[in-house]
Amino acid sequence: MKIFKIMLCAFFALTFCTVTAGADLEKQAGQLKNALPNETRHIMQEIEPTGADLQSGLKTVVQDAAENIGNHIKSGAKTAVLLLAVVILGGVGGSISPEGNTAAVNLAVVLSAALISVSETGSMIATATDTIENMTDFSRIMLPVLGSSAAAAGKPASAAVLYAATMAFSQLLMTVIKNYALPLTYAYIACCVANAAIGGKVLGRMAKLIKQAITISLTVLIFIYIGYLSISGAVSGSADAVSVKAAKLTISTLVPVLGGIISDAAETVVAGAGILKNSVGVFGLLAVLAMCLGPFIGLGIKYLVYKLTAAICGAVADDRVVALIDSISGAFAMIIGMVGATALMLFVSIISGIRMVA
């Protein structure tokens, strides 16, 4: 009922805006930069909403992200060294301790590794939450501008469908992520730590079930959103290719690898490149990319660090310790999925909006 009311209000509002849309469109576009968070505004300082170029803008955004890769790698290396130090010290302690104390040493290693991992995961969850909120806040400014463009082009109904659907689904997605997915991520980590500490299969199965619930729910939401836009006519023709890439990107978050994620995200943008004639829309795409690319890289590097560390520790550590380190990478995979689902929704919405006025 709440979603229906939002859609109804948006329809009448954007239909009314058809008469006055063209007059203040340039003024609205000028406000887009002010809607960006400070860090993103710094990246986009040379890119103007009314004159954005996709190729040069992508170069600017990617170069900025590349400059920060070194910091992410240093942070990841520090984490790997700490985990390896804990595992090696545990192995030495276990080899010289009496046979009856081996379990206590393994428990100490598990708890130490858990302390490091929980701290890392909590920090990345906070970053992901800020990124999702920033993208959602920006969409509240960006999408009305695209809606006004479509209304001025004589397509108020399509603009209403796009704006209402995106606002409703982004609100729903934010609610699911903040009230459901993030708490369950902490529950997943707790199950993984408890399973490594006390053993048994029940907790391990619970952790897998939680991970599946989060990934499936995010995937279903995105497919419903894209399906709604397709049925309503807001997405068709060239945008169908975008939907295919969008589905591919969502599914790829189940087993994310940094290179694959960035590649698929780039393909999503390239699939709509033929219809990117609206500079305001291009600015919106670049802004969303600038907001999410840095966290994507940071999360991806953390994911790879934990996977690699688990593989190295497999030669010297207890199996439960290795399983814990490896399972923590699953938490980073879920966080990547949350950020990716939000960014993907905005990418599809903005490209669809561009198509209306192209």
Any idea what the Cα angle at residue 182 is, between residues 135 and 106, rounded to 5°? 135
Split at pLDDT 50, 70, 90, the class of 321 is: confident
Indicate the range of 112-116, 243-247, 300-304 predicted with least confidence.
243-247
Split at pLDDT 50, 70, 90, the class of 307 is: very high
Q: Is 50 helix (H, G, I), strand (E, B) or coil?
A: coil
What length is written for the chain?
Answer: 358
pLDDT score of 306: 92
pLDDT score of 273: 38
Indicate the range of 9-13, 164-168, 321-325 predicted with least confidence.
9-13
pLDDT score of 159: 60
Percentage of residues in the chain having pLDDT higher than 90 = 9
Split at pLDDT 50, 70, 90, the class of 210 is: very high
pLDDT score of 267: 47
pLDDT score of 272: 41
What is the mean pLDDT of the segment spanning 23-40?
71
Split at pLDDT 50, 70, 90, the class of 209 is: very high
What is the distance, to the nearest Å, from the Cα of residue 65 to the centroid of all Cα atoms in its chain? 15
* pTM for the full predicted model: 0.75
Higher-pLDDT residue of 13, 219: 219
> How many beta carbons lie within 10 A of that of residue 243, not counting itself?
23
pLDDT score of 156: 57
Phi and psi for 217 in degrees, rounded to 5? -65, -40
pLDDT score of 182: 86
> How many beta carbons lie within 10 A of that of residue 169, not counting itself?
21
* Nearest one of 331, 343, 334 to 265, comparing CA atoms: 343
What is the mean pLDDT of the segment spanning 180-190?
89
pLDDT score of 301: 92
The string of DSSP letters for 177-211 reads IIIIIHHHHHHHHHHHHHHHHH--SHHHHHHHHHH
Q: At what angle do helices 319-357 and 156-176 cross, to 10 degrees?
A: 170
pLDDT 10s digits, 90-108: 777 666 666 656 677 778 8
pLDDT 10s digits, 328-357: 998 998 999 888 888 888 887 777 766 665
pLDDT score of 219: 84
pLDDT score of 57: 86
Instruction: Locate 24 and state its tokens.
Output: 């203040």
Res 310 pLDDT > 70:
yes
Residues 6+ apart with CB under 8 A from 232: 161, 165
What is the mean pLDDT of the segment spanning 270-293?
70
Instruction: Locate 323 and state its tokens.
Output: 């399983």
Indicate the range of 82-91, 146-155, 238-247, 283-292 predicted with least confidence.
238-247
pLDDT score of 188: 92
Res 71 pLDDT > 70:
yes
Res 304 pLDDT > 90:
yes
CA atoms within 13 A on the CB side of 29: 21
Percentage of residues in the chain having pLDDT higher than 70 = 68
pLDDT score of 160: 63
Q: At what angle do helices 202-232 and 156-176 cross, to 10 degrees?
A: 170
The string of DSSP letters for 73-95 reads HHHHHHHHHHHHHHHHHHHHHHH
Mean pLDDT, the chain, whole residue set: 74
